[in-house]
Structure 1
């Protein structure tokens, strides 16, 4: 192939349309391995849980270790709104206290930010209700891991 050279900058955005056009002209179409409207191979509930978990990690920083697991207990879609009830599982009472925060402010902030992210995912309104539950040593228990959707290979 003799391709034309294009100087571009993804950071600044210089010549990106020219680069895109060059790629379109020169690359052959390949088979679809997934349906065109599918953006991930993960179930939507899993992604919802990860969006909640992401907000926990962003808002609590070093206070909460990476020992939280999210269980989506209910995801009920109606024509006007999707109702989601989720449980945030932690290992210790102190972690539960940090996640709830003084007067429930931390849990409210987590829920508000996660709701906005989930609304982008499903392209619709979301009612999100969060609960925090202590499950001591859930990461060491095959039963708890399975309940939370984690699989362990033998």
Structure 2
């Protein structure tokens, strides 16, 4: 007996680069679409330093979302230049792209991100994020008209990634832009990054949240040990700073700040990994690491 052909919608799968200037909510959007926290977030710009793949699977398709560092004009250090190269390189070989901007604001770095996407030639969807923060919604339509004038977008979606409002239409449009394909990842996979990498990011998230204005940008995290001991993960993390004088600031009086950083990171790891975590954290000095290409590659930064 012959099986009749399926008449349902074809399954679609493809890759989408998520670009924008720093602090517009790219990582929050990726987390919302994936349905899990795979990208760290903080109120500070340039929290994201690495390209990271978020995998969002739906009944009729799979979206592979490439979260990127924010594109920015200032490139004072090797790390800034590497982050910009990572963001611009994310558009190579993708099926579509998202340009994420903040409702009511269009800045020079937004234009830089748009130019990077325009040069790639892939379909680009404009996401106007943080609409929940605009008190006068009547100003949104003139803003959209201004931003889209003489710029080409496949679609425009005002939404709030933080509140997960307005995502359904965006998902449908993105799936329609994807080629017909089988799923590239299993349904329960949410990222291509290792748990070891995610552990380091969760420590760095706490640094972004708990340190002063400039110091978080002089810190990075290296995971020295990541071992499963029965049902418990044993993790050793090193917080690297650039100058000796920064070390006591990270550690805090009597070690209180480093302990708080470790506790916050450990709780995040236990929530993400679904098991108990024993986390040890140290602070060490590597002079000028953020402007040293060799040090950056040792710490996992890449184009």
Class of the TM-score when normalised by the shorter of the 2 chains: 0.7 to 0.9
Q: State the distance in 2 between where 1:60 and 1:12 align.
A: 28
**Structure 1, residues 102-132: CA drift from partner, whole Å, max 9, x if none?**
0000000000010000111110000000010
Q: Shift of residue 79 of structure 1? A: 2.0
Are 1:98 and 2:98 an aligned pair? no
Which residue of 1 is the match for residue 213 of structure 2? 62
Q: TM-score, normalised by structure 2?
A: 0.40
Deviates more, 1:140-149 or 1:79-88: 140-149
Which residue of 2 is the match for residue 123 of structure 1? 274
Q: Shift of residue 12 of structure 1? A: 10
Which residue of 2 is the match for residue 111 of structure 1? 262
Q: TM-score, normalised by structure 1?
A: 0.76
Which residue of 1 is the match for residue 293 of structure 2? 142
Cα distance change of structure 1 residues 12 and 68 upon mapping to structure 2, 3 Å threshold: closer
Query: Over aligned residues, Cα RMSD in angstroms?
Result: 2.6
Quick one: which of 83, 94, 97 aligns to 2:234?
A: 83
Kindly tell me the number of residue pairs found equivalent between the two proteins.
134
Q: Shift of residue 61 of structure 1? A: 3.6
* 8 Å contact from structure 1 (residues 96, 134) kept in 2: yes
The runs of 4+ residues in structure 1 deviating greater than 6 Å are: none
Which residue of 1 is the match for residue 84 of structure 2? none
* 8 Å contact from structure 1 (residues 64, 95) kept in 2: yes
Quick one: which of 184, 193, 199 aligns to 1:48?
A: 199
Gaps of 5+ in 1: 1-9, 14-18
Q: Shift of residue 60 of structure 1? A: 1.1
Q: Structure 2 matches for 1:5-20, cutoff 5 A?
A: none
Quick one: which of 224, 230, 233 aligns to 1:73?
A: 224
Gaps of 5+ in 2: 1-159
Query: Higher strand share goes to which structure?
Result: 2
Deviates more, 1:62-71 or 1:104-113: 62-71
* 8 Å contact from structure 1 (residues 63, 98) kept in 2: no
* 8 Å contact from structure 2 (residues 207, 216) kept in 1: no
Q: State the distance in 1 between where 2:196 and 2:223 align.
A: 6
Which residue of 1 is the match for residue 136 of structure 2? none
Deviates more, 1:53-62 or 1:142-151: 142-151
Q: Shift of residue 97 of structure 1? A: 1.0
